């Protein structure tokens, strides 16, 4: 939509209505290499961090200001499986089907394996960095931001507040949205976002020309649904077989992938690598490995519900 229509819908409230319906729908149902477009908050040695960001509206050509992505990242006897989950596109996923069989076996050991292999949930949105004390050079710039269920729930709560004395807001709106105060604490070894909150409603800028310029710099979230980012069902099933050790060793396996998997396993065991791993690769694998932390992942009830639904097919 054009910038003019975006402002018109902001005044009419229709954008908020559409977002609320989509969030309700999502709640009812329940990428290779480091990307310098993706902003990450900085934490200190204690694991604490603080920043102020602003969630931005959908870019022209996008239906929503966020995209929901599922992925798998786990290691088996035959190596690592690091792939997008086909359920992101509402398609059947062989990894999820395998996990469903494990979960519904009734064996607790199998359930534990399914928990480790289950799909990981992430959201992506465009953001404007208002304040980033750890990296001031990021301030005043547009980035993509990857976040989890905890922060998405705070967005949902802002749009549909629980109490009558709280005013509903559209956090993605240029004019009537609100800055988000991201507060990170380390709790039980994991990053915790419970203290994060939205500030009072305010326009990001009072200058429409400045807003329109920013609007033109938003990233297209449709790329996260591009078929090129997903293996086919059969390709993913074959890779799963190799990782689980049921298909032996692939005859042709990407040497770089093998090296990455071996290096990550050495790091996990605390061993010294023969050759240093690039920082972007180390960060990518670290993100994938930690993506199942309690604050970021689906809750157990959602996983159980999904496994049970698969068993019905």
**DSSP H/E element including 91:** none
pLDDT given at position 253: 46
Distance CA 256, CA 242 (A): 16
Question: What percent of the chain stands above pLDDT 90?
Answer: 62
Is residue 215 within 8 Å of residue 57, measured between CB atoms?
yes
pLDDT given at position 7: 77
Q: Residue 173 above 70 pLDDT?
A: yes
What angle, rounded to 10 degrees, do the helices at 94-103 and 108-117 form? Answer: 160
Is residue 98 within 8 Å of residue 113, measured between CB atoms?
no
CB atoms within 10 A of CB 268: 11
pLDDT given at position 232: 96
Residue with token string 């399914």: 114
Give the mean pLDDT of 88-106. 95
Distance CA 138, CA 129 (A): 7
Residues 88, 189, 302, 168, CA torsion sign: negative
pLDDT given at position 231: 96
CB atoms within 10 A of CB 80: 22
Task: Name the nearest CA neighbour of 72 among 265, 305, 243, 295.
Answer: 243
Give the mean pLDDT of 160-186. 93
Give the mean pLDDT of 280-309. 48
pLDDT given at position 29: 43
pLDDT given at position 6: 80
The token duo for 251 is 């005859």
Give the mean pLDDT of 188-204. 94
Distance CA 205, CA 176 (A): 11
3-state DSSP call for residue 137? helix
- pTM for the complete prediction? 0.74
Domain residue extents for the chain: 1-313
Please state, rounded to an integer, the average pLDDT across all residues of the chain: 82
Question: What percent of the chain stands above pLDDT 70?
Answer: 71
pLDDT given at position 17: 67
Give the mean pLDDT of 138-142. 97
Give the mean pLDDT of 39-64. 95
pLDDT given at position 147: 96
Identify the CATH assignment for 1-313 out of 3.40.50.720, 3.90.550.10, 3.90.198.10, 3.40.50.2300: 3.90.198.10
3-state DSSP call for residue 17? helix
**DSSP H/E element including 191:** strand 190-192
Give the mean pLDDT of 198-222. 96
């Amino acid at each position: 939509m054009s910038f003019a229509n975006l402002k018109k819908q902001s005044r009419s409230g229709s954008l908020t209505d559409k977002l609320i319906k989509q969030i309700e729908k999502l709640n009812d149902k329940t990428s290779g290499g480091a990307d310098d477009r993706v902003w990450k908050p900085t934490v200190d040695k204690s694991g604490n961090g603080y920043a102020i960001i602003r969630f931005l509206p959908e870019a022209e050509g996008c239906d929503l200001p966020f995209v929901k992505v599922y992925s798998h990242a786990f290691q088996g006897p035959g190596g690592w499986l690091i792939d997008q989950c086909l359920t992101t596109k509402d398609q059947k996923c062989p990894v999820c089907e395998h996990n469903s069989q494990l979960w519904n076996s009734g064996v607790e050991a199998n359930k534990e394996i399914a928990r480790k292999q289950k799909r990981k949930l992430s959201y992506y949105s465009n953001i404007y960095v208002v304040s980033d004390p750890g990296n001031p050079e990021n301030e005043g710039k547009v980035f993509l931001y990857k976040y989890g269920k905890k922060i998405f729930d705070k967005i949902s709560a802002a749009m549909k507040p629980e109490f009558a004395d709280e005013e509903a807001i559209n956090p993605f709106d240029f004019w009537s949205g609100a800055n988000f105060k991201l507060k990170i604490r380390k709790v039980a070894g994991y990053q915790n976002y419970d203290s994060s909150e939205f500030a009072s409603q305010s326009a990001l800028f009072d200058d429409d020309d400045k807003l329109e310029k920013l609007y033109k710099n938003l990233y297209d979230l449709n790329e996260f649904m591009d078929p090129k980012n997903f293996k086919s069902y059969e390709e993913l099933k074959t890779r799963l077989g190799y990782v689980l050790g049921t298909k032996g060793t692939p005859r042709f396996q990407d040497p770089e992938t093998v090296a990455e998997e071996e290096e990550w396993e050495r790091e996990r065991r605390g061993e010294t690598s023969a050759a240093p791993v690039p920082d972007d690769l180390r960060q990518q694998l670290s993100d994938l490995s930690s993506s199942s932390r309690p604050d970021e992942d689906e809750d157990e009830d959602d996983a159980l519900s999904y496994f049970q639904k698969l068993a019905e097919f």
